[in-house]
Amino acid sequence: MSYVTVERRGGCAVITYANPPLGTMTAEGSREMYAAVKAASDDPAVRSIVLTGGLPGIFVRSYDVGELSTASDATAPGAAATPAPSAPPAPGFLELIDLLAAAEKPVVAAINGLCMGGGFEMSLACDLRIAGTAVTAIGLPETRVGIFPGGGGTQRLPRVVGEAKALEMILRGLVVNAAEALRIGLVHELAADPLARALEIAGEWDSRGADGIAYAKRLIRAALDRPLAQGLADERASFAAVMMTDSARAGLKAARPPAEIRNA
């Protein structure tokens, strides 16, 4: 069974995840998603990435509770020791989350249905989140089953909605509908067809310099984790570097006013 399909729409790679019937994320699904996102990230012809769900009413419901339960049992006192792997494990869910956040091109989550737990953590690692107007559940309910968000939720959610709201949502295991998600800043927009809207936005990047986008994303991602002076120094060095790229030269020349206007 394959969990992931990839489709090119102009300069955008649309990566769709489906695990019927529940739409949960699994270890194998994480590996397939990682491979798809890595291939799109490494392809210079891909200018943006859109993630969406392939089941009606489901983006990614959560990480598979059965797999988590099995992992928990394996750590219980008296459990048989797990043999050491003969080779490094394939990239999994946490590596997927890191890859999405670090990708040097814009990543948009087209949230077309239930988006909870690990599915929501995956969307938090994206740059933009577009939710369908009919989506009924977005959030991190892990504390309801005795755990907590372990895929970046405790770190990224406060950066998106602030510490107070993040504490309320995570400690109480709250989920919200699309309208409330927009009101509190969890998502950027609502759309009747979130994939169509995500593709519309992705089209903006098809004709823009990839180097400038990559530098801007890296600088913004790092802004909250270091002193302002260090960030400004990096921004100035990065600006000088991007000005030397072919994409910047082409974009600036295209935007330059005609000579008759410059000399008026």
Residues with a known catalytic role = 121, 142
Three-state DSSP class for residue 12: strand
Helix (H, G, I), strand (E, B) or coil at 129: strand
Distances (CA, A) of 118 to 52, 63, 66, 126: 14, 5, 14, 13
Q: Counting Cβ atoms within 10 Å, is residue 199 exposed (0-12), middle (13-18) or buried (19+)?
A: buried
Please report the beta strands in the chain, taking only residues with DSSP state E, as ranges in sequence order: 4-9, 12-17, 48-53, 58-60, 107-111, 114-116, 128-132, 138-139, 175-176, 189-191
* Relative orientation angle of helices 27-42 and 93-102, to the nearest 10 degrees: 20
Whole-angstrom distance, CA of residue 241 vs CA of residue 247? 12
| CA dihedral of 49, 212, 94, 175, whole degrees rounded to 10 | -70
Find where tokens 């570097």 sit.
241
Q: Which position has the token pair 């890595």?
A: 38
- Upper half-sphere CA count for residue 164 (Cβ side, 13 Å): 1
Half-sphere exposure of 135 (CA within 13 A, CB side): 37
